[in-house]
Amino acid sequence: EPEVTQTPSHQVTQMGQEVILRCVPISNHLYFYWYRQILGQKVEFLVSFYNNEISEKSEIFDDQFSVERPDGSNFTLKIRSTKLEDSAMYFCASSDQLGDEQFFGPGTRLTVL
């Protein structure tokens, strides 16, 4: 069964460093998403991506964040200068139709020290 994969499973970084979180969505999906979950809090939407551009983004997704689909399979989330409050679980998701079920990856736990 096709699934969304994410790497790494756990990333530890120093405050101010850049991190790139990687995702491989399901191959025939067209819509891609990033969500995050700070420990003990809700899963929050960050950004959606379609047709090689951002289609929606939340207030959380400020200039420190960027997304890219560098090739036909990967979808990345970059945080330019990490802050302590960026520590969270980051989930990638994909869907094949607008508004349909989103398939989630296992997440990357980011720890900023």
Partner 1 sequence: AQSVTQLGSHVSVSEGALVLLRCNYSSSVPPYLFWYVQYPNQGLQLLLKYTSAATLVKGINGFEAEFKKSETSFHLTKPSAHMSDAAEYFCAVRANTGNQFYFGTGTSLTVIP
Interface residues with partner 1 (CB under 8 A) are 3-4, 6, 9, 31, 33, 35, 41-45, 48, 55-56, 58, 91, 93, 95, 98-99, 101-107
Min dist CB 56 to partner 1, Å, is: 5
Min dist CB 53 to partner 1, Å, is: 14
Indicate the residue among 14 and 51 with the shorter CB distance to partner 1: 51
Instruction: Output the DSSP codes for the chain.
Output: ----EEE-SEEEE-TT--EEEEEE--TT--EEEEEEE-TTS-EEEEEEEETTEEEEE-TT--TTEEEE--SSS-EEEEESS--GGG-EEEEEEEESSTTSPPEE---EEEEE-
Indicate the residue among 48 and 81 with the shorter CB distance to partner 1: 48
Indicate the residue among 20 and 54 with the shorter CB distance to partner 1: 54
